[in-house]
Structure formats: structure tokens, C-alpha cells
Structure 1
């Protein structure tokens, strides 16, 4: 399994303000999706992007998808499986990392990181737990470890599984995955 160098830094107010200014924050929670409800996913009503935005805990991811020009792709037919880091996961990156990645001159690096969180196809938790690895949209593979009812993707914990969307499934993770680390 890959190991990651993770240092914790506070989430900057500027980034949150940017996400809010882009209109990407929504106060709606994921109704019916709690840890332990993974066996009973509700009927999907929105695509991956709209589902994530409505959750209210993926504002940084939504801002990054916008900056990378990937919103239309993830609103497309799919299906996609997205390992979605929360705002807290982005906040745990070293200070200044997210702000640097959102700069236009770093778009290629941002795209590489974001596409490392996406696997083509629909992989519910029952299927993910049976894999040792999966090839991401950017061509790299993520390591998958399932043990004692928990699943880790490249060392990130899946904290909520099987958030359904019309064009795929979202598994919420507690760490931003970095390709090549």
C-alpha cells in the first residue's frame, strides 16, 4: 500500500470564500446517507457533481472541479466511481497547497490529482471491497485494502460508501489522494 506524507494545516478562509463566491456551497445534506446505511442506497436523483454539491461537505472539491474544467465530464453519462475527499481532507493538506492548485497555471497538475480520484465504471462498496487495486481515469492505480469492515483507498479511509448518483457512485474519503506519492 502506498504511504502518504500528510501534514495538517488549517483551512483558509480565502478558499472557503472562493467556493462560496462560485455558488458551490449548498446547505442541503445527503438525506438518507449515513455511515451504516450503505446497504440501502436511496434512488439517485442527481448526477455526481450535483449530488456532491448538495451534500455541503465537498465545497473545495467542487471549486477544484470547476478550476480543472471537469464539471461537465462528471455531469456526463458515466458511469463513474468517485472517491471524494471532504473539505476537511483538503484542509489537512499543507498550507497553500489548495490555493496553488487552483491557479490557472497549475491546471494540469490539478486535473491529474482530481482524475486520480475517479475510476471509470460503477463500483459500489460491495465490489470495491473485493479489489486490491483499481485503475483511475488518469491511468495510475490506487491501492485498495478491505479489512474488518473498513476500506482504505491509498491509505484514505472510506468514511461513507455508496452515495448514489444518476451517473455513478461516490465513496467519501478522509484524505486527498496524490498520484505518484
Structure 2
């Protein structure tokens, strides 16, 4: 497995199902705030103090669990007591650099297999192809998500994912 280094701040101009093929003028925090299916992540970004980070010039790629993915968590793991774990888990959904889906696919093709990248948290994410679908899997291997859309911003990329990329259940 190849480790993927963060790409530079120069954005790639393409990606699957990208609403705009060129980077927009919004920062990461604004992209998340403007997405219909990322309301919970928006709240977590605010609670974690990451909005200021995402307002800055440094580039990040955020694999943002959709509201549906977060709602699918065990019902016993919700409410105020779950908030700190969710905020910590969010850091394992963020990698440094401006990485589009196209960049990730190119790295997988160049390495001939999965590529791995360290997150802002304590883990790593592994990227691979499942047929024509780009997938991302957590370090513990417990969850995987298909990446089908992306939002390109001035200082990063937001890729909504259909799963929480870390086991944060009470037993996990």
C-alpha cells in the first residue's frame, strides 16, 4: 500500500459529479454550511472550533459524513454525551492538502493499488477503487464510504461520504 502525500494548494480542475469543475470562491466552512446534507457536520465544525481553521489559507480535504450517515449511528449513542466523540471523529475525516477525487484515482492508478493518507486525527484513511467507484476506508477497517460528489473551494475540497469513517459506538 502506497502512502499518499498531501498535494499542494493548486487545485485540480476535475472530479466525478462536480457541480463546478473549477474551484469556487468559498472556503471549506462555507461549502459545508451551504450543503443541504451536511447540517450535523456544520454543527460539529463549529463546536470543534474548526470553522476558523477552515476559514484560513491552508488547504484541507474533508470527507464529511452526510446527515444520513450520522443519523444511522446507534441510537444509544446520541445526544450531548456523544458530542465529544463525534468531534474527535471528525478530525479522522480531514486530511491536509487539496485532494480531488481525480487526484485520488490518479494516485491509486499510479501505485497499482490502495493509497493511504494520515488524517488530522490519530488515524489514516485508505483510498481504493471498487470497480469505477472511489472508496475510502477507516484505519480500523470498520467502515467504508463511496465518494461520488465533491465541492471545490478556494482552500480545500469537501467530499460527502455515506458512512462515519471511525467506529465511535460505545463498544468501539
Report the TM range for the smaller structure's normalisation.
0.7 to 0.9
Per the TM alignment, residue 98 of structure 1 is displaced from its structure 2 partner at its CA by: 4.1
Determine whether 1:75 maps to 2:55: yes
Determine whether 1:101 maps to 2:89: no
Determine whether 1:138 maps to 2:117: no
Task: Supply the RMSD in Å over aligned alpha carbons.
Answer: 2.2
Structure 2 gaps, min length 5: 1-14, 109-114, 138-143
Q: Which residue of 2 aligns with 1:116?
A: 92
Deviations 1:88-124 (A, max 9, x none): 111111114342332xxx3xx3442111110000111
Contact conserved, 2:28 with 2:54, CA < 8 A, in 1?
yes
Q: Which residue of 1 aligns with 2:37?
A: 57
Q: Which residue of 1 aligns with 2:140?
A: none
Determine whether 1:126 maps to 2:105: no
Aligned residue pairs total 141
Over 3 Å counting, the alpha-carbon distance change for 1:39 and 1:52 in structure 2 is closer
Over 3 Å counting, the alpha-carbon distance change for 1:62 and 1:98 in structure 2 is farther
Q: Which residue of 2 aligns with 1:30?
A: none
Contact conserved, 2:136 with 2:146, CA < 8 A, in 1?
yes
Structure 1 gaps, min length 5: 1-34
Determine whether 1:149 maps to 2:114: no
